[in-house]
Amino acid sequence: MNVTFKDKVLSLYRRTIRKHKLLKIPMLVLSVILLFLDHVARRIQSGARRYIAVLASMTFAFVSCSFSSVIWGEGEYDFTADVTSYYYETEESAAAFAVEDEVDTELIDADDSDDDDLIDPENIKDISELDTVSGADIIGSIDDIDISADEEMPVDEAQDDHPDFSRDDWQLVLVNKNHPIAEDYSFTLGTIKGAMQCDERILADLYAMLEGALKDGVNLVICSPYRNDDRQQMLFDRKVDKYTAQGMSYMEAYKTAAQAVTIPGSSEHQIGLAIDMVSDSYVSLNEGFGDTTAGQWLAAHSYEYGFVIRYPEGKEDITGIEYEPWHLRYVGKNAAKVLYEEDLTLEEFWEKYL
């Protein structure tokens, strides 16, 4: 019996799909390509050339088949990725575009070596590389500042149980990936110490908190409070440039950069109301800080001074940011008390009271 090339291909096709139903479409494509190329080769009508053509086509088909099975077979392309990965990002990668599955994090790590002059503080988990100042240093040097002035009007005592909160209150401004900083937002910087700055309106409460912690034996260490827009933009642009130079498309570079550096305009640090703090006995910006004496002191007492743990544990799906026990946000004493007592995030507070 004269078995033709076509018979062989069809029999291979039938045998394969009987064993592996998933291969039906790739095999169909492969068979069509083989038969087509065989047809072309026949028309060339030259023995040696024909076999070379068939061999080449099989190699081509094999390679393209392997390639498509990588894409479809192992499910590496996760269509739900941009929904699920919104949550559990770090503050630095809170952009809606950050799709972790598509990003080579090793690339980010390996690539930071020559950026020593442009460190993004929260991307460095060991604060020894950053400017820091401790509560003891600050309080020791500002004896002439009257940090008790604010205590004359105790929290809420002079107010209703539910004071009226206003959306226009600077203390309550909501900044997250859905609420970028307004273009006309303005405030005055005050100096904490040295080059450390924040919104000057929170200085008195900040000093009071540092002193209150010291009295309880906790020496808080401030690192990276205010960061200006230019610096944030420069950090971000440099990353994007670097990744595009490595051959990424602009969107790929943007996504990758968003993993390493906060997208400009979406960080509370840029409006001077956020302060990262750890302690002199625990100097890493990581979740472990929450279990330390200092971390627990902040969780229990910061609200008394108008501050809250902005990205609490268990609320990642609401804030869109992973647990950051070191990131304190000033919201004012009245709101902080409500957030603390009702266990609300700023997002939930806005929904309920504003």
Q: Which of residues 284-313 bind Zn ion (CB under 5 A)?
A: none
CB of 192 to Zn ion, least distance (A): 15
Identify the active-site residue in 324, 342, 347, 348: 324
CB of 198 to Zn ion, least distance (A): 12
**Residue 177 in the binding site for Zn ion (CB under 5 A):** no
The CB-nearest residue to Zn ion is 327
Segment near Zn ion (CB under 5 A), from 23-31, 105-113, 183-191, 326-334? 326-334
Which residues 6+ apart lie within 8 Å of 263 measured at CB? 94, 95, 97, 177, 236
Measured from the CB atom, is 121 or 332 closer to Zn ion? Answer: 121
Measured from the CB atom, is 327 or 333 closer to Zn ion? Answer: 327
**Residue 337 in the binding site for Zn ion (CB under 5 A):** no
Measured from the CB atom, is 315 or 327 closer to Zn ion? Answer: 327
Measured from the CB atom, is 38 or 268 closer to Zn ion? Answer: 268
Segment near Zn ion (CB under 5 A), from 47-55, 160-168, 240-248, 327-335? 327-335
Measured from the CB atom, is 239 or 269 closer to Zn ion? Answer: 269
CB of 274 to Zn ion, least distance (A): 5
CB of 230 to Zn ion, least distance (A): 18
For the question of residue 324 being annotated catalytic, the response is: yes
CB of 114 to Zn ion, least distance (A): 24
Maximum CA extent, the chain: 107
Measured from the CB atom, is 58 or 299 closer to Zn ion? Answer: 299
Beta sheet of 307-311, edge-to-edge order:
132-134, 220-223, 274-279, 324-330, 307-311
Contact residue for Zn ion among 50, 327, 329, 333 (CB under 5 A):
327
**Residue 276 in the binding site for Zn ion (CB under 5 A):** yes
The contact set with Zn ion (CB under 5 A) reads: 276, 327
Task: Report, as residue numbers or ranges, the catalytic residues.
Answer: 324
